[in-house]
Amino acid sequence: MERFDVIVVGAGNGGLVAGTAVAKAGYKTLILEKHNLPGGCATSFVRGRFEFEAALHELCDSSANENDNGVKSIFTRLGVEVPMIYEKTLFRTIVKGEDGYDVRLNSGYDGFLDSMEQAVPGCRESVKKYLDLMALLNEAQDYLNNGVPNPAKLMGKYGDFVRAASHSSDEIMAEFGIPEKAKNIINTYWGYLGVPCDDLNALHYLSMVESYVSNKPVMPYHRSHELSLALVKAFQSYGGEIRYNSEVTEFIYNSAGAAVGVKAGGKEILARKIISNIIPNNVFNISDETKIPKSAVKLANARKLGLSFITAYIGLDASAEELGIEDYSVFICNSPDTRKQFEDRLNYGMYVVNCLNNAVPGASEEGTSMLFFTLPMMPEDFPADLKAEDYKKYKNDYVKRYIEDYEKTLGVSISDHIEEIAIATPVTFARYLSTPAGNIYAYSNEGWDNVVLRTVFDNIDKKIPNLSFCGGHGIRGDGYSSAYMTGAMTAEKVIAELRREM
């Protein structure tokens, strides 16, 4: 029977970083991936003369400081180098209707404050205080990530962090006296986390906004598939082995309940440690239920599954300039209030349209351009009674409505220029990622399910010996950076365990 030091299940962002870090530390490591490609969400696909980005809107890059947990630092430590291009503008947000506005926000600390002041005169000081709190929160989060935290230090030096953990993003903004319109503009990014800001945990939101504002969002030149391939190359250079088309169908445990291996392709493969890049719900479904602590099952069931999307990837036979498309990211909303945007999510409440050519020059052939429509949908929104024969019409009609709304709102005409179009729905994501109900955002970052409690829960009796988790379902919440970070953190823990057990 084959034996490894570590088996990583899933080659998504979290699994690739975790696998690369343990292989670099000298452990015999196997990554098993059910798909024929690495990356999970972090991938691309080709239709005609277009290579479409499948998921990434923008990446929080962070510095390359050896001691921090930013993406760049993790990549640098793993010997992975992918050239990135910085975005000057964070986003353009268009709110329709009487209280509407059309605002572009610049990236970078000063650029952000300047554009906020321009949009809402007099808001600068309160927004500045908010940004400064975000910097402290990030420092605290790094402290929390680096080993078991000292409660006295956490409550003392990082008291604001712990207090903020029990509040919604809206409550923290109110505390700083941020004017309503400024709050609504800053709240635009909620769509990337899928929870409206009156429920969205302040820590998760603050940390995401701070990274985008201060470190500036970046994009790889050749889609996020390039990031995934670079990680695989590094993993293999450290002696790691990756097997594609290798779905794990069972997790194997010994009589004491410790994970000892997995089954893939009908064969058992053993390891000292297993790292799962797949969501706990799925792991429990393919495990002997008597081996899973009841508290772990209860926790998975208590959590709310996060957002999914309908996405449309559109190749146009004219350049962005010719079509009058000026921005990379445009958020279009029918109300300034994120709760209303969320409630109206199936009816233009809030959606995002990205034109990659405006972030990455030359992303498609000269005289062409690409649009990426992201339309939020909760797992329960997808019609359960939809018949297979009606699926195509359902998704085409759904997207057509949004294309028309986009044309009307922006005053552009794209329908006559569509050369290629591919549409993904929660069904597509369920098929490719195997997530419950095609969910792509793992667990919602709301209320009690926040980074502090996730860290606490991670250390109590739900633990299964030798089994660790990493990815968008981990303690940092969903997203590329969070998945990479939990991959790095999990690898550190596993390496420490392996060293102790030598």
Ligand X SMILES: Cc1cc2nc3c(=O)[nH]c(=O)nc-3n(C[C@H](O)[C@H](O)[C@H](O)COP(=O)(O)OP(=O)(O)OC[C@H]3O[C@@H](n4cnc5c(N)ncnc54)[C@H](O)[C@@H]3O)c2cc1C
Q: Which residues bind ligand X (CB under 6 A)?
A: 9-15, 32-35, 40-42, 55-58, 192, 247-248, 277-278, 309, 311, 429, 433-434, 440, 471-472, 478-481, 483
User: C-alpha angle 348/351/353, rounded to 5°?
Assistant: 130
Q: How far is the CA of 44 from the CAs of 3, 37, 227, 309, 317, in angstroms?
A: 33, 10, 11, 16, 20
Report the alpha-carbon distance of residue 156 to residue 153 in Å, rounded: 5
CB-based burial, 348-376: b 16+ in 10 Å, e otherwise? bbbbbbbbbbbbbeebbeeebbbbbbbbb
3-state DSSP assignment of residue 104: strand
- Residue 498, H or E segment: helix 480-500
Report the alpha-carbon distance of residue 110 to residue 124 in Å, rounded: 10
Nearer to ligand X, 202 or 275 (CB): 275
Whole-number minimum distance, CB 434 to ligand X, in Å? Answer: 4
> What is the DSSP annotation of 125-178?
HHHHHHHHHHHHHHHHHHHHHSSSPPHHHHHHTTHHHHHHHTSBHHHHHHHTT-
Given a contact cutoff of 8 angstroms between Cβ atoms, the answer to whether 271 and 260 are in contact is yes
Nearer to ligand X, 105 or 440 (CB): 440
Q: What are phi and psi of 369, to 5 degrees?
A: -155, 170
Nearer to ligand X, 123 or 300 (CB): 300
Nearer to ligand X, 277 or 369 (CB): 277
Nearer to ligand X, 169 or 287 (CB): 287
Nearer to ligand X, 261 or 471 (CB): 471
Nearer to ligand X, 57 or 72 (CB): 57
- Residue 383, H or E segment: none
Task: Give, as one character, the DSSP assignment of residue 254.
Answer: -
In the block, residue with structure tokens 């690739």: 16
Report the alpha-carbon distance of residue 436 to residue 422 in Å, rounded: 22
Whole-number minimum distance, CB 322 to ligand X, in Å? Answer: 26
Nearer to ligand X, 9 or 296 (CB): 9
Whole-number minimum distance, CB 104 to ligand X, in Å? Answer: 18
Whole-number minimum distance, CB 388 to ligand X, in Å? Answer: 22
Residue 429 Ramachandran class (φ > 0 left, ψ -120 to 50 alpha, else beta)? alpha
Nearer to ligand X, 12 or 379 (CB): 12
Whole-number minimum distance, CB 2 to ligand X, in Å? Answer: 16
Whole-number minimum distance, CB 90 to ligand X, in Å? Answer: 12
Report the alpha-carbon distance of residue 5 to residue 204 in Å, rounded: 34
Burial of 480 (0-12, 13-18, 19+ CB in 10 A): buried
Whole-number minimum distance, CB 58 to ligand X, in Å? Answer: 6
Whole-number minimum distance, CB 310 to ligand X, in Å? Answer: 9
Nearer to ligand X, 182 or 491 (CB): 491
Whole-number minimum distance, CB 13 to ligand X, in Å? Answer: 4
Report the alpha-carbon distance of residue 201 to residue 170 in Å, rounded: 9
Nearer to ligand X, 338 or 486 (CB): 486
Whole-number minimum distance, CB 12 to ligand X, in Å? Answer: 2
Nearer to ligand X, 58 or 446 (CB): 58
Both tokens assigned to 450: 């926040």
Number of CB atoms found within 10 A of residue 111's CB? 16
Given a contact cutoff of 8 angstroms between Cβ atoms, the answer to whether 34 and 246 are in contact is yes
Whole-number minimum distance, CB 438 to ligand X, in Å? Answer: 9
> What is the DSSP annotation of 31-74?
EE-SSSSSBTTS-EEEETTEEEESS-S-EE-----TTS--HHHH
Q: Which amino acid is at 62?
A: S
Whole-number minimum distance, CB 115 to ligand X, in Å? Answer: 21
